[in-house]
Structure 1
Amino acid sequence: MEPWRFWIPSVISHVFWYRKKAFQLKEDTYADWVLFAVQAGSFRYRIGEASGEAGFGDAVLCPPGVAFEREVIEPVTFHFYTIGWERSMEEAVELSRGAGDSAAEVKLKESAGAARGLRGSGGDMQPDELSVAESTSELVFSSKMMPVHLSWLDHNRLSSTYFYMEQLARLRPGEPKRAQWNHFLHDLWQLYGMEQEVARQTREQQEQDPLMQEAERWLRQQAFGPILLKELSARLGLSPVQLTRQFHAACGATPMDYLTSLRIQKAKALLLETDMTLEQIAEQCGYENGFYLSRMFSKTMKVSPSRYRSMHRL
């Protein structure tokens, strides 16, 4: 199990930034851990040896005392979290049981920063020095074990979470809402952990099923044109039922659900980034007409395309 799973983020502060065109500081160093969770737009970053781009579906996690270089690519809307870390007792108990201990034998030392999580400032120990002792093993907190770039695949779920986060940010902005921001932060973290576990299992299954790797590649290449699953199943030498069953086992979704997620994600981007009509967007996304796109979009997102556009374009 990845070491980061033994820790849960805890919010210190939260700020919502809407369509920021440029960062005031192209490089900054923070006293605490920070998380930039991107709701729209994109930016480049470099944190230590890690670098890349982050857009919707991504977040960037920076440890204290490390230079965070960043540059806006497209006006970026994001949630800026300052966070600490708390130990996950459930995961610690699971590790202990795996080592042959009972839950009662798991004893964790308290640290100076426990009230606000592990932090780079305050307390006598730095994150890389802090350890948690168990009866037969030791959990060591290190900034190196935390991912720098986080990505989520369930964009529909993520869009819904960000929608409510934005509403909370706009609702009486000056009022403290730490419990609510903790709720959303934990939701993002748990979703990331769950998707990582599913991805691990999927990779293991795909290694045993190269046909489904080919099926996924084909669907991505053909996603925005007319698609007949009979053509794909014939290409792979499978019946449509066999294709659906094997694809779901390997990828966690049916071929049609996978195809729909690709099309709806593109439709969302076009709704927010262009002034195209629904008919034009439908054509770009592989749907016959705007009416059918609207039906599929509303079914998937629980909101109409026009409503989605008006909610997210100010």
Structure 2
Amino acid sequence: MIPNIQLTRYYYGEQREQFSLAEDMYQGWVMLAAQDGSFSFTIDGGDDTKEQLTQFGELIFCPPSHTLKRHVQQTLSFHFCEFTCSGDWTLPQVVRLKDVSRLRSTFQYLREWQETEDLHQQYRGDAQHLIEDLIFQSHREQYKAQHNNAGTVDPLMNKAAAYIESRTCEHELSLQELAATLGISSSQLTRRFQSAYGLSPVRFATKVRLARARILLVETQDTLENIAEQCGFQNAFYFSRVFSNQMGISPSGYRKNYRV
């Protein structure tokens, strides 16, 4: 059962070469997660005292009164929050979230909340709901890992999905480059990704691009050419063709039907 939590503080740090404090101990629970870049960490008194490397797609949870040591490995943007909770509950030190699209969206809303200073206190509850959702997702992944052998999480494919999610709208997806980054062959990447996510890396990338495109169609006045460029499509014609084939409706029709 997920406990009631109370958010104590939240902070988004951008483009850091190092943490302000290499280690600290906290009165409440702490969640630390990379947005971009990577960092290594250990938790004194935790289940695993070996230094571990983490990046986008993974949430680090440090219990109260444990020392969290951390070092930036690659220029880092990160999310930090401290919270208290009722009752006894546990989470692993590292939780890898499979739904990286949902994670990126949650992170974006948290960043926007922090940046809107005049609404920061007025809508403090919004930030708490977002943190609660991250904890809900973490518990769900933990439960699935413990009770659903058929749906066992493949941590390396989580990294692959996070890589695609973070880059596919800005860069053409190269399976060879991604496979080399992960230390496996392209054929292994395709097979394992298909097993973990039910679709190929290329189709996953298209899904990410179309999800971004749907938001831009509804929430902006951008032209199809601009949207195509922002979502990693070659041009507006190709974007329209892919969108229509996958969604069963043209981009213009989607914008007309779903804009409120």
The question of whether the paired residues in 2 share the 8 Å contact of 1:267 and 1:281 is answered with no
In the alignment, which of 176, 199, 210 is matched to residue 299 of structure 1?
A: 210
- The separation in 1 between residues aligned to 2:11 and 2:5, in whole angstroms, is 16
The question of whether the paired residues in 2 share the 8 Å contact of 1:264 and 1:297 is answered with no
Q: Are residues 1:267 and 2:164 paired? A: yes
- The separation in 2 between residues aligned to 1:16 and 1:308, in whole angstroms, is 25
Superposition map of 1:118-129 within 5 A: none
Runs of at least 5 residues in structure 1 that lack an aligned partner in the other structure? 88-140, 207-212, 221-257, 310-314
Give the aligned partner of residue 31 of structure 1: 27
The question of whether the paired residues in 2 share the 8 Å contact of 1:294 and 1:305 is answered with no
- The separation in 1 between residues aligned to 2:205 and 2:93, in whole angstroms, is 37
- The separation in 2 between residues aligned to 1:46 and 1:293, in whole angstroms, is 33
| CA RMSD in angstroms, aligned pairs only | 3.7
- The separation in 1 between residues aligned to 2:228 and 2:69, in whole angstroms, is 36
In the alignment, which of 161, 166, 171 is matched to residue 106 of structure 2?
A: 161
- The separation in 1 between residues aligned to 2:58 and 2:129, in whole angstroms, is 19
- The amino acid of 1:267's aligned partner reads I
Q: Which string of whole-angstrom CA distances, capped at 9 and with x for unpartnered residues, describes residues 39-90 of structure 1? A: 2221110101434122111121222322211100112222211110024xxx
- The separation in 1 between residues aligned to 2:100 and 2:69, in whole angstroms, is 26
Superposition map of 1:97-136 within 5 A: none
Flag the structure with larger Rg. Answer: 1
Q: Which string of whole-angstrom CA distances, capped at 9 and with x for unpartnered residues, describes residues 158-189 of structure 1? A: 11111222222222278324201110011111
Superposition map of 1:161-240 within 5 A: 161-172=106-117, 175-176=120-121, 177-203=123-149, 205=150
Q: Percent identity?
A: 19
Give the aligned partner of residue 42 of structure 1: 38
- The separation in 2 between residues aligned to 1:173 and 1:282, in whole angstroms, is 44
- The separation in 1 between residues aligned to 2:92 and 2:34, in whole angstroms, is 16
Q: How far does residue 305 in structure 1 lie from its aligned partner after superposition?
A: 7.5
The question of whether the paired residues in 2 share the 8 Å contact of 1:271 and 1:305 is answered with no
Runs of at least 5 residues in structure 2 that lack an aligned partner in the other structure? 179-185, 191-201, 216-226, 233-260
Q: Which string of whole-angstrom CA distances, capped at 9 and with x for unpartnered residues, describes residues 206-248 of structure 1? A: 7xxxxxx9xx99xx8xxxxxxxxxxxxxxxxxxxxxxxxxxxx
Distance 1:31 1:306, change over 3 A: farther
- The amino acid of 1:196's aligned partner reads Q
- The separation in 2 between residues aligned to 1:305 and 1:190, in whole angstroms, is 34
- The separation in 2 between residues aligned to 1:33 and 1:65, in whole angstroms, is 9
- The separation in 1 between residues aligned to 2:77 and 2:135, in whole angstroms, is 19
The question of whether the paired residues in 2 share the 8 Å contact of 1:282 and 1:293 is answered with no
User: How does the TM-score come out when normalised to structure 2?
Assistant: 0.60
- The separation in 1 between residues aligned to 2:41 and 2:3, in whole angstroms, is 24
Q: How far does residue 196 in structure 1 lie from its aligned partner after superposition?
A: 2.5
Q: Are residues 1:85 and 2:88 paired? A: no
User: How does the TM-score come out when normalised to structure 1?
Assistant: 0.51
Q: How far does residue 306 in structure 1 lie from its aligned partner after superposition?
A: 4.5
SS in 1 for 2:20: coil
- The separation in 2 between residues aligned to 1:194 and 1:305, in whole angstroms, is 34
